[in-house]
Amino acid sequence: MMVRTRFAPSPTGHLHIGGLRTAIFNYLFAKANNGEFVLRIEDTDKERSKEEYTEAILEGLKWCKIEWDEICYQSKRNDIYEKYLNRLVEEGKAYRCYCSKERLEKLKEEQLKKGENPHYDGHCRNLKEYPEDKPYVIRIKLPEEDIDFYDHLHGNMHFSYKEFDDFIIRRSDGSFMYNFTNVVDDIECGITHVIRGDDHLTNTAKQIVLYRLFGKKPPEYAHVPMILGEDKTRLSKRHGAKSVLEYKEMGILPEALVNYLLRLGFSYGDKEIFTFEEMIKYFSLERLNKSAAVFNPDKLIWVNFEHMKMKKPEELLEDLRPFLDKNCSNFSDEYIIEAIKTRQTKAQTLKELADEIRFYCVEPEDYEQKAVKKYVKASIKEPLEYLLEKLKDADFSNEESLKTAFEDTLEKFNLKMVKIAQPVRIALTGKGIGPGIYEMLMVLGKDESIKRIKKMMDALL
């Protein structure tokens, strides 16, 4: 039997990292077992579901290279749900409930006074006649059988049927409840494995009741611990959690985000950094962690840094394009790639890398005052003029040639490298920090480098 997993987001908000991690686990498990990954959009909540959220979910998954083999929308499957519902009613496994909101509230109050957990009392369970002019919900007839299932993280799970009641599977407005549509879709889609948050354990027990009523075998389950904030409470916006596409805007590589979220619940020895191929190769349910993981934004940046260093510069260019200054479009890809090489192992995000190589495409309009005050003094004018003459004869494709020009200048004026290199750096970048001096000169080339040095001298000396 082919392994089939699914990710079933509701388009009532943007895709966040908790949901993305669930998608990652299901996707990797399917691919690790030569199976298929199904995307199901649970858009039955007509008031809260929005097309813009659906589009954002699809965009976020595509950006992270989580590719689905099949997609379905619950809003288009009502006929299927009706068929399954009618079957339960006809077989006497579900029934109409006409109890008013007021009656149910009163029942709840009485049960609480007695110290009981609120539950439906089965008032309409055995009605012989159905009034046609009153609104009703559909409830299941809960079998008096305990619920047992095996979970790949939690082991053997047991729920007493007394913990539940005849729960609703269709509302009075005709819309279907989550647990019902979930089971019907998993049956119809042939889902074999469900990996999701451990906050769904009670839902799983209810869903297994429905599988029994339908006479179907439930899928295998793995309920993973939730992601926590650094204060060990459930991760939320107050911990700095963002939507998936916000991480894209920050300049995080998709493979780095997927790698980091995988490690929040999965381990393979001490290995921290994984390629997509390695994630698929090593993933298994046995390697999922039983304890909750803590989200650390700094660790995510470190993982991103490692992935940026691993990439070929020409591959990194494609990720970097959205962040580049518009002026960079005036330069060849080869030029930008050479620029990338000078900061690839230093920048932590794509946004940071784009900022740090911007000067290659846009010459400085002003100069960092702190750096100028420290390094650009009147006494450096003559050494810079001498260096310029040396640079005119230097080979800018040869680092040794540039090095000779600087060493000759240092020797003649008895200077240390920092005294001449920093003013040159400020002239080239406008700042006191940046790539290696020879790297910059070689990328910018002779004409541009000399022009910028002269411009700085005219402005400041």
Dihedral angle of Cα 247, 278, 292, 229, to the nearest 10 degrees? -20
In angstroms, the CA 267 to CA 256 distance is 16
Query: Which candidate, 197, 167, 191, 192, places its Cα nearest to that of 179?
Result: 167
Q: Which of 162, 237, 271, 392 is the catalytic position?
A: 237
Question: Does 341 participate in catalysis according to the annotation?
Answer: no
For residues 186 and 4, give the distance between their C-alpha atoms in angstroms, rounded to a whole number.
10
**Contacts (Cβ under 8 Å, ≥6 apart) of 260:** 299, 300, 303, 304
Contact call for residues 328 and 361 (beta carbons, < 8 A): yes
Q: Please, what is the end-to-end C-alpha distance for the chain in angstroms? A: 78
* Residue 331 burial (C-beta neighbours within 10 Å; 0-12, 13-18, 19+): middle
> Which residues does residue 222 pair with via DSSP β-bridges, in sequence order?
195
Nearest residue to 64 via CA among 41, 91, 37: 37
Tokens in use for 377?
């003094």
Amino acid occupying residue 382: E
Around 119, how many Cα atoms within 13 Å sit in the side-chain half-sphere?
13
Active site positions, annotated: 237
